[in-house]
Each structure stands twice: as C-alpha cells, then as structure tokens.
Amino acid sequence: MLVSASGAVLAACSAGPALAADSIGSERDIDRRAAAIVAKMTQDERFQLLSGGVGFANPLVHIAKPEGSLGTSGFIRGIPRLGIPSLHETDGTLGVANRGNKRPGDVATQLPSGLAIGATFDPELARAAGMVLGAEARAKGFNVVLGGMAQLIREPRGGRNFESPGEDPLLVGRISGAMIAGTQSQRVAATTKHLAVNVQETGRSVQNAVIDPDALRESDMLAFGIAIEEGRPAAIMAAYNRINGQWSTESSLLADVVKGEWGYRGWIMSDWGATHSAAPSALAGLDQESGHEFDEQQWFGKPLREAVAAGVAPQARIDDMNHRIIRSLIATGVYDDPPRPGGSIDWEAHAAITERIEQAGIVLLKNEGGCLPLPRIGTVLLVGGHADKGVLSGGGSAQVAPKGGIAYREKVGTGLVADASEMIYTPSVPLEAFTAEMPGLRFAFDDGSDIARVTTAAQAADFAIVFAVKPSAEALDSPDLDLPFGQNDLIAAVAAANRRTTVVLETGNAVLMPWLDQVRSVVAAWFPGQRGAQALAAIVSGRVSPSGRTPISWPASLGELPRPVLPGWSPDVGVDLAVGKRPQPFDIHYTEGSDVGYRWYERSNRKPLFPFGHGLTYSKFRYSDLAVETDRGRLQVSVTIENRGRRSATEVPQVYAAAPGRTHRLVGWERVTLAPGQKRKARIKADGRVLASRFKGKWQLIPGDYGIFVGPSAGMPLLASVLKAHDAAKLALLQR
C-alpha cells in the first residue's frame, strides 16, 4: 500500500502546542497588530530589535554573558512595555545545540543528520524531526531556532554537508520546509539558512560565488524558494560569502527576489559576523544584524541611525524591519505565548522518533550475495569506529550535548582545527544494540588499532562489520574524500581475512571506497542520532528492511567533480571561524550552473560510484505500466510497482524529467510499502516548480518534447516515456 514512512511517530509530538490560525488571526490581522505595536515604539526601541549579540560568554571576542540571556547563540533584549519578548536564538539544525557545554548540563535529543533525514525521502518524518526540535527549544525557553538548512550540497567535501538534506532542490526544499513547519508548530520561530551558495567552509567569510544568475535561480535559490513556500519560516539567515561580487547581506536577491518576487513577509537576519555595512545592507533587505561582536562595528547601531538622520536610509525602512520581526513573532505564537524555561520534555517519545527517522534514512549501498541481513546464529566481529561506546555526530554550531551524556570525545589536530573538528559520540552503542537485537549471535569487538590482531579475530568470525567514521564540522572542510585514520587499510585487511565483511559508514559526506570490490555490503548510516545504534541493529537483523535513498551522488574519484581541487584550500585557511585574521578573498566559479550533483554526472557523461536516489532493500521490485498525462496544467505520472520478493519492503519510485537540451531533474517521488507479492499503482504528481527553466531573467517552459523516466535512482531509468510538445505546452508555468 502507499503509505508515509512516518507511521504514528508524529503523534508523540503533536500533543504539544500547535499553531492555531483561528487564535492567531488572519494575515491581515497579524499585520494590523504588528503595525500598531511598531507605531508605539520609540526610536531607541526600534533600533533595539535590529542588532543582536552573542548570548553567552565568548572569549574569542572578549564578551561576557548578557544579563537576561539564557546562554544561547544569539540574544536580543525585548521590550516588556509592549509585550515584545527577548529573543533567545538557539542553534538547532539537528537538535537544540549546546556546543562546548556553554549551558552546563543542558542536554537535548540528537537528531539524525540532515543527510539521514533527506535520505528518508519523507517530508512527514522531516516534520516530526522539526517538531522534536521545536518542542525541546520551547521547553528550554528558547523562542528562535536557527535551523532549517536549505543549502544544496554542491561541494562534496563541505564541512556542513551533514546538516543539509541533499543535492537536489526539490528534495532539499520539501524536507527543509517540512522541518521548518514542524518546528514552528511548537510555537517557536524558525529560520532557514544560509542564503545563498554557502556550500563550502573554506574561506566562507571572504569567498565570492561566481554563478550564472539564471542557473542560481534554478538550483540553490529554487531550494530556498520551495523551503520558504512550504515551511513559511519566521526568518531567513543570509550567508557569509559574496554572490557575484555582492555580500549575501547586501545582495539584490534579498529585496528583489525573496521579498519582491516571492512575497516573503518575515525578517532576514545576517549570519554571525556577516554584516559589512549599515545603509547598503538595510536597503538591500537585511532586517537584523546578528552577532554584531563579530562585525567590524555594530553597523545597525550608530551607523544606521546616522544614515537615517542623513536621509540615506528612510525611516519607513526602519519601521518595516521592525514590522517584519514583530509580525513573525505574532504569526508563530511567540508574542502571545512566549516559551519559558523549565518545560517538560518527553525524552522517550523523542528518542523513538529519531530511531524511526534513522531506520528510514539508512541507505544500503551494496549487498552482494545477500550478506545482509545477518543470520540468526553465528559469530560477528565488530571493528573500529568506537562501536563499543557510541555513534558519531556532526560538529560546530549543530553540536548537541546528547541526552545521556557524551559517550566519547576525541580531538583531531591542534588549535582551531581541534576545536572545529572535535569528534563527539552519542551514547547509542552498536555493540550493545546488536547484542540485544540479535541474541542468537555472538558479538565481539576490536578497536582496530592492531591490524595483525584484528585480522586474526576476523578470520575466526563468521561475519565482520567495520564501523568507519569521518568527522564533519562547521568551519572545516575536508581537502579530500578519503576515510581518515588509516581506515581504508583497516577495511581492506578485515575484508581479506573475512569474505563476509560489511562496512558501516558514519560520515557527514560521501567518501571514496578503494576497498568496495573486497567487501560484501556497505551501509550509509550517516550521523545516526540519539538511537542510531538501535536503528542500525533493526536493519542489520532484518527486522526492518532498509528503505533509505542516498540524497547525494557518491563520486568514484575527485577528478570527476566540477572542481577536483577544493577552491581556496590550504592548511592556513582550512578553518574559517569568521574571527581574527581572515584569508585573502578568492572567487569560486560554479561552472556547472544548475547542473548540481546527479545532473552534473549526466551533463559530463560520467558515472558515479553510487547515483543520487540509490538504495537497496531486502526485496525485489518490478516496475510496469508507465503512463504520463497532463491534468489541469499539472504533469502526473503513474507506474505500477510489484514486490517480487519474500519480505515486506518499501520502494521509492522517482520521476525525472528533461526539457529539450537540458539534463534530467527530479520532479517527484513516492514511498511505496508492499507486502510480498503485492502490487500497487503509484500516482506521482510532478512538481511544476522544477519543470520550468530560466533564460535571460525570465521563467519559461522550453518548447518541445520532454523526456520522462521512472526508476529507483537517477542512474537507473527503468521505464521511459516522452511528453510530446503539444502536451507539454499545456503545463502551467509554476516558478520559484
């Protein structure tokens, strides 16, 4: 049957506060209330909301914790006489962050990584993740969540890739939008970030993204447009980098596209230390300077006041900036029902949701000879990855202090590198979870530090599972896609000693696999979250059939990337924390344009190691009866899916369309869960926002025949059809 993978997990969160349109009022009512509040504000109060600082003591910029702050990343003092609450802004792409234990003992549920959530291809599960995040933020008294990552993965080596849902604008937009909506359903304000093309950390505060404007609108900006349309975030965070010569915080994209074409009514804030001017930024559409201590000066303080006094920036713009902030607080329920510290958290329910998300997000990349699931009896050697302690998480501003405490921590390198790339393990232990899930098997663990010892142990075991890890963190890219710490050699040695070897990857990006032909199975677990080990155990045991689909392409080599060498990389500029001495500015030329990821592989006629959308199950499916039709300006594709295996499993048929002369784009998908022998017709409505193309600043449907294919990945078109030109001409021009 056609089902959502989320099942009943949403019920655990839905008991919390939800946005009630009738209690908050119509859009007109919200605007009227906001305008009335702004009219009562003094000029000092109007400027008070426009500039925010860091909410905790920070020795990097020599500041103390502000009075009244709850110790969050951002703090803007409220205006009690008007009922405007202080803004307590917490980092929170994958859980309420507490990097460096700034709030001692404050723990949160660690969500699976953005890649894992994207790999579910299930917006309802993404919404559930957002609800967990919003509920916990609210319980802690935080009213703004700096989450909603909607930037495309253009650079496979990017340090923050683990926070993003993937490389495709439709997938990223839908997943991110659903997370935003889930977060705001708990009456907290959410952001989406970082607009735009902030796709690598190296030199992020000085780099200039050079990209064709039309291609930008078809790719990175399209992802943001969909996320904003579906999630309606209270705020948008502008990025550090330049775009075609303009700082993101001074870009014409803010006023002309986001607020103009898209009609966005919330507020746009800067990233911390990303504001570079007063009037130019305000007039471009920036509404709030964040983390002003990291800026050259507090631009939205005295300099902006002087610009208003001189007539350079109109008073009406200042009023609009305040109106956008206040209306967003009203619209999300924060104004009328501000969160307060000390709320209750249903830890068990939230952990169960993370486990369900991870189960749906684990991707079985390879499974030769049915090596997985494991049999009921035998001996299994678990190797490496601290699988006797926990599972790896991502670092930087997304770093959560997990419920249950940090199981293990390990620094990599020295100085700023060590701070940026510290490896934090969540207390979900594979050795314990596997033993509990599969009591008929005997498990042993070897840390992999002694190759001779581990190969001897592997020879004696019936099966071997190597846990391979690679840290990822904000501010730090990887110069390559290799597994660190000699793990490639470890995997090769174990595989040579045991022909039934599985590799479990806990990584924040794709990695190269020189050992791929030597192992039987490969599992992408990503950074698996609060109950990652339990989710892995369910998959490896066969209790749950894997259903995740990779939201990124896995390169076979660096040479096939649009930029084989990471732009700007050197050991001196590999870490960019937007403080202290910055590297020299440099350009990054995105010559692939809108052909990101799998579209680049098609355009360059190359084949990746694993294509976007790929993922195996423990069953086999047959596709048949492809039909393509237009109905009221919409493209609809139907296909019959049959489970021809012996296990219940979920297939994810994906629809790709190509305009004349263009590469194929993902235009829709469905999750189809079928019992053995069952078949069902899936009807997939193509998203018109990704069918349109942009030329010379205008959207259009290219005249001609459109190629359509359906398959289990971007690299496996099982059934193909053609939408003839006269039918394509009937499609409605939907754009973002």
Active site residues: 271
Q: Closest by alpha carbon to 90, among 401, 320, 403?
A: 401
Q: List the Cα angle 689/692/696 in 5-degree steps.
A: 125
**Rounded Cα gap, residues 675 and 619, in angstroms:** 10
Pairing of strands 363-367, 521-524: antiparallel
Q: For Cα atoms 459, 460, 461, give the angle at the middle one, nearest 5 degrees.
A: 95
Report yes or no: 162 and 394 within 8 Å, Cβ to Cβ: yes
Is the CB of residue 288 less than 8 Å from the CB of residue 270?
yes
Structural tokens at position 467:
């846990």
Asked if 308 and 318 count as a contact pair (C-beta separation under 8 A), the reply is yes
Q: Which strand (E) or helix (H) includes residue 654?
A: strand 654-658
Contact between 448 and 454 under an 8 Å Cβ cutoff? The reply is yes
Cβ–Cβ under 8 Å, residues 166 and 221:
no
Residue type (1 letter), 668 = G
Q: Residues 380, 434: contact at Cβ < 8 Å?
A: yes
Measured in degrees and rounded to the nearest 5, phi and psi for residue 636 equal: -125, 135
Q: Considering just the CA atoms, what is the radius of gyration of the chain in Å?
A: 25
Count of positions (residues) in the chain: 736
CB neighbour list of residue 8: distance below 8 Å, 6 or more residues apart: none
Distance CA(519)–CA(503), nearest Å, equals: 7
Measured CA to CA, the distance from residue 413 to residue 327 in angstroms comes to 46
Which secondary-structure segment (H or E) carries 501?
strand 501-507
